[in-house]
Amino acid sequence: MAADRLMLARALEFALVAHGEQTRKGTTVPYVSHLLQVSGLVLEWGGDLEQAAAALLHDVVEDTAVTIQEVVDAFGGGVGVIVAECTDTGADEAPGRKRPWLERKRAYVERLQAIGPRSALVIACDKLHNTSTLLVDLELHGLATLARFNAPAPKQLWYFRAVAAALRGRVPAGLHRELAAHAEKFAALTGAVEWREGQD
């Protein structure tokens, strides 16, 4: 247990250095706020300290120059697997050099069908915090909030619902209910009709 607590502390330091001065999209909020919130949610929903450490690192490959191998070398294979399964970018991608949003999200939703329960919990907590903050901003600032995102509301609604569906039965029922409810609240606040394959 002491070793796990030490790993959690090291993961926070690692994330702080890797993410540097990054902020939450369209805000001045330090990015570490999101990482801390997700890690806390993981523990509150029954995760262990290794999963909490992975939660602190869940975006480090997707949004910084850190590689999965560096995560494995620093924190072990268990954390490495979770971080890899949280990541929606490929090995040939980097911040500022990613495939189009829809292409990445389609592939990610497909991969979610096969991830393990330890990763599923971290992913669900990540999406729960993302949608929580988005819903708060929509209530405070209205539809102007959507301008800072890479996809229009119909595609975001598709993604939120698809992720919730993929995680059903593999995360605590209460967590899944919250995730699904957030998708429907997003639909209500934006008036979005879900994007379907074949549409622009």
Which residues are known catalytic residues? Answer: 62-63
Tell me the HSE value of 44 on the side-chain side, using a 13 A CA sphere: 13
Burial per residue of 97-123, b for 16 or more beta-carbon CB atoms within 10 angstroms, e otherwise: ebeeeeebbbebbeebeebeebbbbbb
Q: What is the DSSP string of 56-125?
A: HTTTHHHHSS--HHHHHHHH-HHHHHHHHHH--S-TT-BTTB---HHHHHHHHHHHHTT--HHHHHHHHH
Cα gap 126→175, rounded to integer Å: 11
